[in-house]
A and B are shown apart, each in its own frame.
Chain A
Amino acid sequence: MTDLGRYQDPLTIQRVLHATGTIAIVGLSNNELRASYFVGYYLKRHGYRVIPVNPREKEILGETSYPSLLDVPVPVDLVNVFRAPDALPAIAREAVEIKAGALWCQFGVINEEGARIAETGGVTVVMDRCLKIEHARYVGRMHWLGFNTRRITSVRAGLQ
């Protein structure tokens, strides 16, 4: 059994959210009703540079889509994965090769070997978590719709 708790630490998640500027989304769909499109749209809205990685599309969300991570011409801070779990080891190898800061695997994208490859290569791993939800939890407005953010703090944050 994979110890998922290791890859879901709140402090790591907050650090990754704040350290990231450019996000490559592997498996981003061009169908606006798919979860990956919701996530990509949301991240773009919140000021991240989103780079689609999908060999079947030319452009998604107004951004050029690349066939693989190795084809992306700019530095990538975070690789966000919407693919079947067994695709993860290959993606993790590419994430290490392009020196991405972190590898973020969405709900259900759980693969121990992929996580190990990334970690050994110095890439931080978050697994079985949704990037949109975690952003909305710590930075965004998830609390506006009655979701349980589990946050407890009396610190006053800035305007939102």
Chain B
Amino acid sequence: MTDKLSRAEQAREFGFETRQLHAGQRPDPNTGARAVPIFQTTSYVFEDPESAAAYFNLQEYGNTYSRIMNPTVAVFEERVANLEGGAGAVAFASGIAAQAAALFTLLQPGDHVVSSSALYGGTVNQLKHLLRKMSVELTWVDPDDPDAWREAVRPNTKAFFGETIGNPSGNVLDIETVAAIAHEHELPLIVDNTFATPYLCRPIEWGADIVIHSATKFIGGHGTSIGGVVVEAGTFDWSNGRFPVIADASPAYHGLRFHETFGMYGYLMKLRAETLRDLGGALSPFNAFLFLQGLETLSLRMDRHVENARAVAAFLDSHELASNVTYPGLPGNKYRPLVDKYLPRGAGAVFSFDCAGGRDGGQGLIGGLTLWSHLANVGDAKSLVIHPASTTHRQLGDEELRAAGVGPGTVRLSVGTESVEDLIWDLEQGFARVAATIGEKVETV
């Protein structure tokens, strides 16, 4: 007994950089392996029939089948939960799958969701079309207007949804204010924290109840894998009368009342044991391993992303062929006070600007770049560029485009960790091409 206790764990608050390396993992008890082993297995041998039954009954924490849990994925889940300050996390095969599952767990037909309109285009599609198929109503609100959130609440509303930093136009969500409005109405606030990462902002500390990530982006950090994760704070009262799907006896789990039985872990248990079980969309162990490699350097990369993003934004802000640079960290930006409050280490590295020459100008600029990669992703260590109106936001109508802050000449950048003078040199090449195109047009008129 004293032996076991001689290295017992103290009540120490470890720093972020320590936790991004260690949280969720201890040396493998069987082999001593220091790196996280990749448990590339579909299933797990049970010790005996009683143990098997206990695992399926959720009476014991046990591995059954890798659609529902996997030891490598679990390290990733715990690490993200730890960095975000949540009770736990469940990983998914993509950020979109994570969002669908987070909502699916707390919604039923006839419910209603209030969402910020300034979101990633794929999320706009998902909320608009998937929720309708589930017979769930949706109200878009201007995320910057607290009254809009408040006025959108109905008796059947079940959640608020927003992004810490909106994709692509850089709206910064006033998390504390919106969370307070949600809580006034006994509703959870769900925040997509993909663009900030837990290094730059931890929404749970400001009142958010559920945090979602597309791990595909900065968490992975190297553009290798698609994945997502849902973190829950563990503090929301799911037994407040609004959430019979979580509080009442579940027909999908032999009458279990998830919130009563598992308390602060009830939502997460249901998310895993029912939603992940029934929707599938499990993260592969190999991708979890790559995300863990990414997390080990998260703070180092984010500091560098932010430093480069500031320099690129300042360059664009003073360039005559660029306007409306949406980097919320720029001195004159209208979100600057919110950045100072929620993102003191920096406003991330994704933003947009309007290129002179409209649609032709935007596409011309991209055509002139040789270092920035033209592709549909963000959050890679390499610098990325895209023209949303013709790609990620293509399915949106003009009205929705405007609501999402996208114009015909809007170009979105994800600033990587290269030598910043090379990034600016390349943008100058692109602008030279834009200038030539605009010049030609003027001549031919």
Contact = CB atoms under 8 A, between A and B. Distances in A.
B163 interface: no
A151 B30 contact: no
B94 interface: no
Contacts, number: 127
Given A15-B5, A35-B261, A152-B23, A147 B60 contact: no
Interface string A3-21: 0000001110011001100
A146 B231 CA distance: 10
A100 B329 CA distance: 59
A157 interface: yes
A13 B59 CA distance: 21
B427 to A, nearest CB: 41
Given A35-B261, A45-B54, A155 B26 contact: yes
Interface stretch (A48-56, A67-75, A135-143): A135-143
Contact of B7 (A38, A143, A155): A155
Interface residues of A, number: 40
Given A33-B255, A147-B88, A154-B22, A38 B59 contact: yes
B61 A141 contact: yes
**Most chain B CB atoms below 10 A, which of A14, A15, A151:** A151
Contact of B29 (A14, A18, A152, A160): A160
A148 interface: yes
**Most chain A CB atoms below 10 A, which of B5, B60, B87, B249:** B60
A120 B30 CA distance: 44
B8 A15 contact: yes
Contacts of B223: none
A34 B14 contact: no
Contact of B265 (A19, A33, A45, A147): A147
A157 B26 contact: yes
A89 B16 CA distance: 41
A30 to B, nearest CB: 15
B68 to A, nearest CB: 9
Interface stretch (B71-79, B180-188, B302-310, B402-410): B71-79
B277 interface: no
A38 B261 contact: yes
B240 interface: no
A123 interface: no
Given A33-B256, A154-B27, A41 B5 contact: no
A14 B8 contact: yes
A107 to B, nearest CB: 5
A64 interface: no
B162 to A, nearest CB: 23
A159 to B, nearest CB: 6
Contacts of A15: 5, 8
Contact of A140 (B61, B63, B75, B256): B61
Contact of B61 (A136, A148, A152, A153): A136
A146 B263 contact: no
Given A45-B60, A136-B61, A153-B26, A146 B9 contact: no
**Most chain B CB atoms below 10 A, which of A10, A150, A155:** A150
A34 B263 CA distance: 11
B60 A42 contact: yes
B194 to A, nearest CB: 19
Given A14-B5, A144-B71, A149-B78, A158 B61 contact: no
B272 interface: yes
**Most chain B CB atoms below 10 A, which of A35, A38, A107, A147:** A147
Contacts of A140: 61
A138 B10 CA distance: 12
B268 interface: yes
B419 interface: no
Given A107-B263, A156-B29, A144 B9 contact: no
A130 interface: yes
B78 A147 contact: yes
A145 B29 contact: no
B1 A18 contact: yes
Contact of A145 (B5, B11, B26, B69): B69
A105 B72 CA distance: 34
A152 B14 contact: yes
Contacts of B133: none
A33 B91 CA distance: 27
Nearest to B11: A10
Interface string B165-190: 00000000000000000000000000
Interface of A: 9-11, 14-15, 18-19, 33-35, 38, 41-42, 45, 107, 130, 133, 136, 138, 140-160
15 contacts: A9-B11, A10-B9, A11-B8, A35-B262, A42-B59, A130-B263, A143-B24, A144-B63, A146-B69, A146-B78, A148-B87, A150-B82, A153-B26, A154-B27, A155-B26
